[in-house]
Amino acid sequence: MDVNLALSPQAIAVARLDSKPKVLARMAQLLSEAYGLDESEVLEGLEAREALGSTGFGRGVAIPHCRSKGVRRPSLAVLRLDPPIDFAALDAQQVALVCALVSPENAGATHLHALAAISRLTRDEAMVQMLADAPDAEAIYALLTNQFLRDAA
């Protein structure tokens, strides 16, 4: 992977949530706890981006994203939803996998590279299926860590 993406085991969860606002709030909480960010600032950023149009880009995946002055490098949180929810995705499919990205405020190209790397990962149908089948957050972390390490090689 060509991006130095932060991925903390504390930023991964499996949850039963029933709305997009609850998902965004949980993502802000995960990002805040894992990376020491201001939870309300992150939530505000995620909500502002989502207001521009859904980040549910298809095949059951959403990638909400924003920038923050509190982060030094692109940082990822992953939430698997069980059951999937309506996220107003482009293909109208319900979303089961949410990958939230927070990048530094001035990380123009770096932010785009991180989004592209996450997009490539989530376009891999076998990987998405393995993430869906993973028994818990630890297994999801292991899958993602192995994938990102392989991409970096």
What CA–CA distance (Å, rounded) separates 46 from 64?
6
Nearest to 64 by CA among 24, 123, 93: 24
- List the catalytic residues: 65
Locus of tokens 């880009």: 57
Q: Which two tokens stand for residue 140?
A: 């999801």
SS3 41: helix
CA dihedral (19, 112, 32, 144) positive or negative: positive
